[in-house]
Protein backbone atom coordinates (compact mmCIF):
# COMPACT_ATOMS: atom_id res chain seq x y z
CA UNK A 1 0.00 0.00 0.00
CA UNK A 2 2.86 2.39 0.77
CA UNK A 3 3.90 2.74 -2.88
CA UNK A 4 0.35 3.41 -4.14
CA UNK A 5 0.05 0.41 -6.44
CA UNK A 6 -2.01 -2.78 -6.36
CA UNK A 7 -2.13 -5.55 -8.95
CA UNK A 8 -4.43 -8.48 -9.71
CA UNK A 9 -4.76 -11.25 -12.25
CA UNK A 10 -8.05 -12.19 -13.83
CA UNK A 11 -9.21 -15.68 -12.91
CA UNK A 12 -8.57 -17.03 -16.42
CA UNK A 13 -4.94 -15.92 -16.22
CA UNK A 14 -5.18 -13.68 -19.29
CA UNK A 15 -4.86 -10.18 -17.85
CA UNK A 16 -2.94 -8.45 -15.10
CA UNK A 17 -4.65 -5.29 -13.84
CA UNK A 18 -2.66 -2.59 -12.06
CA UNK A 19 -4.26 0.20 -10.07
CA UNK A 20 -2.04 3.14 -9.04
CA UNK A 21 -2.84 6.36 -7.25
CA UNK A 22 -1.13 9.67 -6.55
CA UNK A 23 -0.32 10.99 -4.04
CA UNK A 24 0.83 7.50 -3.09
CA UNK A 25 0.51 5.99 0.35
CA UNK A 26 -2.55 5.74 2.54
CA UNK A 27 -5.80 7.11 1.11
CA UNK A 28 -7.53 9.65 3.34
CA UNK A 29 -11.02 11.16 3.20
CA UNK A 30 -11.51 14.60 1.62
CA UNK A 31 -8.38 14.33 -0.53
CA UNK A 32 -8.15 14.34 -4.32
CA UNK A 33 -6.34 11.32 -5.79
CA UNK A 34 -5.43 10.58 -9.38
CA UNK A 35 -6.09 6.87 -10.09
CA UNK A 36 -4.49 5.12 -13.05
CA UNK A 37 -5.57 1.73 -14.40
CA UNK A 38 -3.41 -0.37 -16.72
CA UNK A 39 -4.11 -3.69 -18.42
CA UNK A 40 -1.19 -6.05 -19.06
CA UNK A 41 -0.76 -9.40 -20.71
CA UNK A 42 -0.43 -11.77 -17.75
CA UNK A 43 2.06 -14.03 -19.53
CA UNK A 44 4.48 -11.39 -20.76
CA UNK A 45 3.75 -8.52 -18.34
CA UNK A 46 3.56 -6.22 -21.39
CA UNK A 47 1.15 -3.27 -21.36
CA UNK A 48 -1.77 -3.63 -23.77
CA UNK A 49 -3.31 -0.90 -25.92
CA UNK A 50 -6.94 -0.57 -27.02
CA UNK A 51 -8.47 -1.68 -23.74
CA UNK A 52 -11.96 -1.43 -22.31
CA UNK A 53 -13.73 -2.14 -19.04
CA UNK A 54 -16.64 -1.09 -16.86
CA UNK A 55 -15.66 0.58 -13.59
CA UNK A 56 -17.91 0.68 -10.56
CA UNK A 57 -16.83 2.36 -7.32
CA UNK A 58 -18.72 1.49 -4.16
CA UNK A 59 -18.49 2.76 -0.62
CA UNK A 60 -20.05 0.68 2.14
CA UNK A 61 -21.74 -1.44 -0.57
CA UNK A 62 -23.39 1.59 -2.19
CA UNK A 63 -22.44 2.63 -5.72
CA UNK A 64 -20.96 6.13 -5.79
CA UNK A 65 -19.57 6.20 -9.35
CA UNK A 66 -19.82 4.17 -12.56
CA UNK A 67 -18.33 4.53 -16.00
CA UNK A 68 -17.62 2.53 -19.14
CA UNK A 69 -14.25 3.25 -20.69
CA UNK A 70 -12.50 2.37 -23.92
CA UNK A 71 -9.06 3.84 -24.48
CA UNK A 72 -6.41 3.61 -27.20
CA UNK A 73 -3.41 4.16 -24.94
CA UNK A 74 -2.13 1.70 -22.37
CA UNK A 75 -3.51 3.54 -19.35
CA UNK A 76 -6.63 5.28 -18.10
CA UNK A 77 -6.54 8.00 -15.42
CA UNK A 78 -9.33 9.58 -13.40
CA UNK A 79 -9.51 11.74 -10.28
CA UNK A 80 -11.58 10.62 -7.30
CA UNK A 81 -12.05 11.73 -3.71
CA UNK A 82 -13.96 10.14 -0.86
CA UNK A 83 -15.92 12.10 1.72
CA UNK A 84 -16.50 9.50 4.40
CA UNK A 85 -14.76 6.62 6.08
CA UNK A 86 -15.77 3.09 5.18
CA UNK A 87 -15.06 0.25 2.76
CA UNK A 88 -14.11 1.45 -0.73
CA UNK A 89 -14.21 -0.98 -3.68
CA UNK A 90 -13.06 -0.53 -7.28
CA UNK A 91 -14.76 -3.17 -9.46
CA UNK A 92 -13.51 -3.61 -13.04
CA UNK A 93 -15.78 -5.83 -15.14
CA UNK A 94 -16.23 -6.79 -18.80
CA UNK A 95 -12.46 -6.40 -19.20
CA UNK A 96 -11.74 -6.16 -22.93
CA UNK A 97 -15.28 -7.45 -23.56
CA UNK A 98 -14.66 -10.67 -21.65
CA UNK A 99 -16.52 -12.06 -18.64
CA UNK A 100 -13.56 -11.31 -16.38
CA UNK A 101 -13.86 -9.14 -13.27
CA UNK A 102 -11.36 -7.95 -10.66
CA UNK A 103 -12.07 -6.12 -7.43
CA UNK A 104 -9.83 -3.94 -5.27
CA UNK A 105 -11.19 -3.16 -1.78
CA UNK A 106 -9.81 -1.24 1.16
CA UNK A 107 -10.96 0.09 4.49
CA UNK A 108 -10.74 3.89 4.56
CA UNK A 109 -10.68 5.99 7.70
CA UNK A 110 -9.02 9.12 8.91
CA UNK A 111 -6.20 7.24 10.61
CA UNK A 112 -5.13 4.56 8.14
CA UNK A 113 -6.01 2.58 5.05
CA UNK A 114 -5.83 -1.21 4.99
CA UNK A 115 -6.38 -3.64 2.14
CA UNK A 116 -9.25 -6.06 2.78
CA UNK A 117 -9.36 -7.50 -0.71
CA UNK A 118 -11.76 -10.42 -1.13
CA UNK A 119 -9.57 -12.02 -3.77
CA UNK A 120 -6.54 -9.80 -3.45
CA UNK A 121 -3.01 -10.38 -4.55
CA UNK A 122 -1.12 -7.43 -3.12
CA UNK A 123 -0.85 -6.96 0.62
CA UNK A 124 1.75 -6.26 3.26
CA UNK A 125 0.46 -8.07 6.34
CA UNK A 126 -0.71 -11.60 7.05
CA UNK A 127 -4.20 -10.39 7.85
CA UNK A 128 -4.60 -8.45 4.62
CA UNK A 129 -5.67 -10.28 1.47
CA UNK A 130 -6.90 -13.63 0.34
CA UNK A 131 -4.28 -15.80 -1.42
CA UNK A 132 -4.98 -17.87 -4.51
CA UNK A 133 -3.89 -21.34 -5.62
CA UNK A 134 -2.90 -22.26 -9.19
CA UNK A 135 -2.28 -25.73 -10.68
CA UNK A 136 0.36 -25.56 -13.42
CA UNK A 137 0.08 -29.00 -15.01
CA UNK A 138 2.97 -31.47 -15.16
CA UNK A 139 5.44 -28.71 -16.20
CA UNK A 140 8.24 -28.79 -13.61
CA UNK A 141 9.62 -25.39 -14.66
CA UNK A 142 6.34 -23.56 -14.01
CA UNK A 143 7.47 -21.65 -10.92
CA UNK A 144 6.37 -18.19 -12.06
CA UNK A 145 2.82 -17.03 -12.66
CA UNK A 146 3.65 -16.25 -16.29
CA UNK A 147 4.86 -19.80 -16.95
CA UNK A 148 2.06 -21.31 -14.90
CA UNK A 149 -0.59 -19.50 -16.93
CA UNK A 150 0.82 -21.14 -20.07
CA UNK A 151 0.31 -24.66 -18.72
CA UNK A 152 -2.33 -24.34 -15.98
CA UNK A 153 -5.17 -26.81 -16.11
CA UNK A 154 -7.53 -28.38 -13.63
CA UNK A 155 -9.05 -31.20 -15.68
CA UNK A 156 -8.00 -34.41 -17.44
CA UNK A 157 -4.78 -35.09 -15.55
CA UNK A 158 -3.28 -38.54 -15.74
CA UNK A 159 -3.46 -40.65 -12.59
CA UNK A 160 0.34 -40.67 -12.24
CA UNK A 161 2.86 -37.82 -12.39
CA UNK A 162 3.99 -34.66 -10.62
CA UNK A 163 1.97 -31.44 -10.58
CA UNK A 164 3.25 -27.97 -9.72
CA UNK A 165 1.01 -25.98 -7.38
CA UNK A 166 1.63 -22.26 -6.84
CA UNK A 167 0.16 -20.20 -4.03
CA UNK A 168 0.30 -16.47 -4.67
CA UNK A 169 0.30 -14.86 -1.22
CA UNK A 170 2.28 -11.61 -1.02
CA UNK A 171 0.77 -10.98 2.40
CA UNK A 172 2.89 -13.86 3.71
CA UNK A 173 6.08 -12.33 2.32
CA UNK A 174 7.17 -11.04 5.72
CA UNK A 175 10.91 -10.64 5.13
CA UNK A 176 11.94 -9.29 1.72
CA UNK A 177 15.49 -10.59 2.22
CA UNK A 178 14.59 -14.21 2.94
CA UNK A 179 13.06 -17.17 1.15
CA UNK A 180 10.13 -18.16 3.36
CA UNK A 181 7.80 -21.13 3.87
CA UNK A 182 4.05 -21.48 4.36
CA UNK A 183 1.83 -24.35 5.44
CA UNK A 184 4.24 -26.11 7.80
CA UNK A 185 2.56 -25.41 11.15
CA UNK A 186 -0.72 -26.37 12.78
CA UNK A 187 -2.01 -22.79 12.56
CA UNK A 188 -1.38 -22.41 8.79
CA UNK A 189 -1.36 -26.01 7.61
CA UNK A 190 -1.45 -27.29 4.06
CA UNK A 191 -3.57 -30.41 3.50
CA UNK A 192 -3.72 -32.80 0.54
CA UNK A 193 -6.65 -35.12 -0.07
CA UNK A 194 -7.63 -37.57 -2.81
CA UNK A 195 -11.01 -39.07 -3.68
CA UNK A 196 -11.19 -41.76 -6.34
CA UNK A 197 -13.57 -44.22 -7.97
CA UNK A 198 -13.48 -47.54 -6.05
CA UNK A 199 -10.44 -46.46 -4.05
CA UNK A 200 -9.97 -45.45 -0.40
CA UNK A 201 -10.02 -41.77 0.55
CA UNK A 202 -6.53 -40.38 1.13
CA UNK A 203 -5.49 -37.40 3.26
CA UNK A 204 -2.10 -35.98 4.18
CA UNK A 205 -1.54 -33.30 6.79
CA UNK A 206 1.43 -31.11 7.64
CA UNK A 207 4.65 -31.62 5.68
CA UNK A 208 7.62 -29.24 5.34
CA UNK A 209 5.54 -26.54 3.65
CA UNK A 210 5.63 -24.76 0.30
CA UNK A 211 8.73 -22.67 -0.34
CA UNK A 212 8.87 -19.15 -1.73
CA UNK A 213 10.18 -19.15 -5.30
CA UNK A 214 12.65 -16.41 -4.42
CA UNK A 215 13.22 -13.70 -1.87
CA UNK A 216 10.42 -11.10 -1.89
CA UNK A 217 8.26 -12.83 -4.53
CA UNK A 218 5.28 -13.75 -2.35
CA UNK A 219 4.86 -16.80 -4.60
CA UNK A 220 5.12 -20.25 -3.02
CA UNK A 221 5.61 -23.56 -4.83
CA UNK A 222 5.08 -27.23 -4.04
CA UNK A 223 5.40 -30.15 -6.47
CA UNK A 224 2.87 -32.88 -5.66
CA UNK A 225 3.17 -36.42 -6.97
CA UNK A 226 0.02 -38.27 -8.00
CA UNK A 227 1.32 -41.74 -7.12
CA UNK A 228 -1.37 -43.92 -8.71
CA UNK A 229 -2.03 -47.32 -7.13
CA UNK A 230 -0.73 -50.84 -7.65
CA UNK A 231 -2.31 -52.16 -10.84
CA UNK A 232 -1.73 -54.62 -13.68
CA UNK A 233 -1.09 -51.96 -16.33
CA UNK A 234 -0.17 -54.31 -19.19
CA UNK A 235 -2.58 -57.20 -18.65
CA UNK A 236 0.04 -59.85 -17.89
CA UNK A 237 -1.82 -60.91 -14.75
CA UNK A 238 0.83 -59.61 -12.38
CA UNK A 239 0.17 -56.66 -10.07
CA UNK A 240 3.71 -55.62 -9.25
CA UNK A 241 4.12 -51.96 -10.20
CA UNK A 242 4.34 -50.93 -6.54
CA UNK A 243 2.56 -47.67 -7.37
CA UNK A 244 0.71 -45.72 -4.72
CA UNK A 245 1.45 -44.46 -1.26
CA UNK A 246 0.67 -41.23 0.56
CA UNK A 247 3.43 -39.49 2.50
CA UNK A 248 5.50 -36.32 2.85
CA UNK A 249 8.68 -35.95 0.83
CA UNK A 250 11.70 -33.77 1.53
CA UNK A 251 11.83 -31.09 -1.17
CA UNK A 252 8.98 -28.71 -2.11
CA UNK A 253 10.46 -28.06 -5.55
CA UNK A 254 11.41 -31.65 -6.43
CA UNK A 255 8.61 -33.41 -4.54
CA UNK A 256 6.66 -31.85 -1.69
CA UNK A 257 4.59 -34.98 -1.09
CA UNK A 258 2.91 -37.86 -2.86
CA UNK A 259 -0.72 -38.91 -2.62
CA UNK A 260 -2.36 -42.12 -3.83
CA UNK A 261 -4.82 -41.86 -6.71
CA UNK A 262 -7.35 -44.29 -8.17
CA UNK A 263 -8.84 -44.61 -11.66
CA UNK A 264 -10.65 -41.28 -11.74
CA UNK A 265 -11.27 -38.64 -9.11
CA UNK A 266 -9.77 -35.47 -7.71
CA UNK A 267 -6.85 -34.25 -5.64
CA UNK A 268 -7.53 -31.21 -3.47
CA UNK A 269 -4.96 -28.85 -1.97
CA UNK A 270 -6.21 -26.85 1.01
CA UNK A 271 -4.43 -24.11 2.92
CA UNK A 272 -5.62 -22.85 6.28
CA UNK A 273 -4.10 -19.40 5.97
CA UNK A 274 -5.75 -18.00 9.10
CA UNK A 275 -6.59 -19.72 12.39
CA UNK A 276 -8.67 -17.16 14.33
CA UNK A 277 -11.19 -17.30 12.85
CA UNK A 278 -10.29 -20.26 10.64
CA UNK A 279 -10.12 -19.40 6.94
CA UNK A 280 -9.22 -21.89 4.22
CA UNK A 281 -8.71 -21.75 0.45
CA UNK A 282 -8.81 -24.85 -1.74
CA UNK A 283 -8.11 -25.89 -5.30
CA UNK A 284 -8.89 -29.26 -6.92
CA UNK A 285 -7.49 -30.99 -9.97
CA UNK A 286 -9.28 -33.88 -11.66
CA UNK A 287 -7.62 -37.00 -13.02
CA UNK A 288 -8.79 -40.03 -14.98
CA UNK A 289 -7.62 -42.97 -16.99
CA UNK A 290 -7.58 -42.50 -20.76
CA UNK A 291 -7.89 -44.64 -23.88
CA UNK A 292 -4.54 -45.14 -25.61
CA UNK A 293 -4.14 -43.86 -29.17
CA UNK A 294 -2.15 -45.25 -32.10
CA UNK A 295 -1.51 -43.35 -35.35
CA UNK A 296 0.45 -44.19 -38.48
CA UNK A 297 2.48 -41.31 -39.90
CA UNK A 298 1.27 -41.94 -43.48
CA UNK A 299 -2.08 -42.89 -45.00
CA UNK A 300 -0.45 -45.77 -46.91
CA UNK A 301 3.00 -47.31 -47.34
CA UNK A 302 5.14 -49.01 -49.97
CA UNK A 303 6.89 -52.26 -49.12
CA UNK A 304 10.25 -50.47 -49.28
CA UNK A 305 9.19 -47.85 -46.74
CA UNK A 306 9.95 -47.88 -43.05
CA UNK A 307 6.59 -48.09 -41.31
CA UNK A 308 6.26 -45.53 -38.50
CA UNK A 309 3.56 -45.03 -35.91
CA UNK A 310 3.05 -43.02 -32.75
CA UNK A 311 1.56 -44.07 -29.45
CA UNK A 312 0.08 -41.97 -26.69
CA UNK A 313 -1.46 -43.06 -23.42
CA UNK A 314 -1.44 -40.46 -20.67
CA UNK A 315 -1.85 -43.24 -18.13
CA UNK A 316 1.67 -44.50 -18.87
CA UNK A 317 3.49 -41.33 -19.88
CA UNK A 318 5.17 -40.62 -16.54
CA UNK A 319 5.60 -44.25 -15.52
CA UNK A 320 9.18 -45.53 -15.29
CA UNK A 321 10.25 -48.20 -17.77
CA UNK A 322 11.05 -50.75 -15.06
CA UNK A 323 7.47 -50.62 -13.74
CA UNK A 324 5.92 -52.52 -16.65
CA UNK A 325 6.63 -54.19 -20.00
CA UNK A 326 5.06 -52.32 -22.91
CA UNK A 327 4.67 -54.07 -26.24
CA UNK A 328 2.60 -53.95 -29.41
CA UNK A 329 1.31 -56.78 -31.56
CA UNK A 330 1.96 -56.05 -35.24
CA UNK A 331 0.42 -58.28 -37.93
CA UNK A 332 -0.89 -58.26 -41.51
CA UNK A 333 -3.56 -59.99 -43.59
CA UNK A 334 -0.83 -62.33 -44.86
CA UNK A 335 0.65 -63.06 -41.43
CA UNK A 336 -1.93 -62.97 -38.65
CA UNK A 337 0.59 -64.22 -36.08
CA UNK A 338 2.85 -61.29 -36.81
CA UNK A 339 5.47 -59.97 -34.43
CA UNK A 340 5.60 -58.71 -30.86
CA UNK A 341 7.25 -55.29 -30.78
CA UNK A 342 9.02 -54.78 -27.46
CA UNK A 343 9.36 -51.16 -26.37
CA UNK A 344 12.79 -50.23 -25.07
CA UNK A 345 14.41 -46.85 -24.61
CA UNK A 346 11.57 -45.05 -26.42
CA UNK A 347 9.05 -45.86 -23.69
CA UNK A 348 8.45 -42.12 -23.11
CA UNK A 349 6.79 -42.07 -26.58
CA UNK A 350 8.66 -38.94 -27.68
CA UNK A 351 9.66 -40.45 -31.05
CA UNK A 352 7.75 -42.61 -33.54
CA UNK A 353 8.12 -46.38 -33.38
CA UNK A 354 9.23 -48.07 -36.60
CA UNK A 355 9.43 -51.46 -38.29
CA UNK A 356 9.87 -52.80 -41.83
CA UNK A 357 7.92 -55.13 -44.10
CA UNK A 358 8.88 -57.59 -46.83
CA UNK A 359 7.21 -60.09 -49.19
CA UNK A 360 9.22 -63.16 -48.15
CA UNK A 361 8.94 -64.03 -44.46
CA UNK A 362 8.47 -62.50 -41.04
CA UNK A 363 11.78 -62.24 -39.25
CA UNK A 364 12.87 -60.02 -36.39
CA UNK A 365 11.11 -56.66 -36.69
CA UNK A 366 10.26 -57.19 -40.37
CA UNK A 367 6.69 -58.31 -41.14
CA UNK A 368 5.66 -60.38 -44.18
CA UNK A 369 3.02 -58.68 -46.36
CA UNK A 370 1.38 -59.03 -49.77
CA UNK A 371 0.25 -56.31 -52.15
CA UNK A 372 -2.77 -54.44 -50.76
CA UNK A 373 -2.47 -55.94 -47.29
CA UNK A 374 -3.77 -54.16 -44.23
CA UNK A 375 -1.19 -53.82 -41.47
CA UNK A 376 -2.46 -53.78 -37.89
CA UNK A 377 -0.82 -52.41 -34.75
CA UNK A 378 -2.52 -53.52 -31.55
CA UNK A 379 -2.09 -52.24 -28.00
CA UNK A 380 -3.91 -53.81 -25.05
CA UNK A 381 -5.10 -50.91 -22.89
CA UNK A 382 -5.61 -52.05 -19.29
CA UNK A 383 -6.20 -48.60 -17.85
CA UNK A 384 -9.62 -47.87 -19.31
CA UNK A 385 -11.72 -44.94 -18.10
CA UNK A 386 -14.95 -45.66 -16.28
CA UNK A 387 -17.04 -43.91 -18.97
CA UNK A 388 -19.68 -46.04 -20.66
CA UNK A 389 -18.98 -46.87 -24.32
CA UNK A 390 -21.41 -46.40 -27.22
CA UNK A 391 -23.01 -49.79 -26.53
CA UNK A 392 -23.79 -48.94 -22.92
CA UNK A 393 -20.92 -50.98 -21.47
CA UNK A 394 -19.12 -49.61 -18.42
CA UNK A 395 -15.50 -50.70 -18.09
CA UNK A 396 -14.33 -52.16 -14.81
CA UNK A 397 -10.96 -51.04 -13.48
CA UNK A 398 -9.41 -54.44 -14.38
CA UNK A 399 -10.79 -54.49 -17.94
CA UNK A 400 -8.41 -54.56 -20.94
CA UNK A 401 -9.42 -53.36 -24.40
CA UNK A 402 -7.64 -53.95 -27.72
CA UNK A 403 -6.74 -50.64 -29.35
CA UNK A 404 -6.00 -51.27 -33.04
CA UNK A 405 -4.82 -48.96 -35.82
CA UNK A 406 -4.70 -49.97 -39.51
CA UNK A 407 -2.86 -48.92 -42.67
CA UNK A 408 -2.53 -50.32 -46.22
CA UNK A 409 0.75 -51.41 -47.84
CA UNK A 410 1.48 -51.86 -51.55
CA UNK A 411 4.26 -53.76 -53.29
CA UNK A 412 3.99 -52.14 -56.71
**Residue pair 149/167 in contact by the 8 Å Cβ criterion:** no
**Residue 126 pLDDT greater than 50, yes or no:** no
- Would you state the pLDDT for residue 318? 67
Looking at per-residue pLDDT, the higher value among 341 and 82 belongs to: 341
Q: Do domains 1-115 and 293-410 have the same CATH topology?
A: yes
Query: What are 45-55's pLDDT values in tens digits?
Result: 788 888 999 99
Chain-wide mean pLDDT for the chain?
85
* Rounded Cα distance, 341 and 357, in Å: 13
Q: pLDDT, tens digit, for every residue of 20-49?
A: 888 877 788 888 888 999 998 877 778 888
| Domain locations in the chain as residue ranges | 1-115, 129-289, 293-410
Q: How confident is the model at residue 301 (pLDDT cuts 50, 70, 90)?
A: very high
* Weakest-pLDDT range from 4-8, 114-118, 127-131, 138-142: 114-118
Q: Which residues contact 254 (CB under 8 A, 6 or more apart)?
A: 223
Return all residues near 141 (Cβ < 8 A) that are at least 6 apart: 147
Range list of β-strands (E), 239-368: 247-251, 256-259, 264-275, 278-288, 293-296, 300-302, 307-312, 327-332, 339-342, 353-358, 366-368
pLDDT at position 221:
96
CA end-to-end span of the chain: 77
Task: Give percent above pLDDT 90 in the chain.
Answer: 44
* CATH number for the domain formed by residue range(s) 293-410: 2.60.40
Stretch 61-77: mean pLDDT, rounded? Answer: 84
Assigned superfamily of 1-115: Macroglobulin (MG2) domain (2.60.40.1930)
Amino acid sequence: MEDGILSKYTTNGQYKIEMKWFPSGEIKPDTDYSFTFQVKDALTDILLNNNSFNLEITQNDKTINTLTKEFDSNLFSKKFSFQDSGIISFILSDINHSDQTVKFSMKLDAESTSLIDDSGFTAKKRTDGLPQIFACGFEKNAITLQKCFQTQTYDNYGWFGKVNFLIYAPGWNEDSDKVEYIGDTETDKLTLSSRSDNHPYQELGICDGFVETGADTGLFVGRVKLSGHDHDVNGDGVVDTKFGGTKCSNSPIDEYAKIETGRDGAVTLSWQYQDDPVKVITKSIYFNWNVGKLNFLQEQYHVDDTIEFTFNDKDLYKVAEDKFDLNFKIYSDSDRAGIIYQVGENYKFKKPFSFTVNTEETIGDSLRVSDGDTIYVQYDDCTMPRATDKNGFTYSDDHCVEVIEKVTVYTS
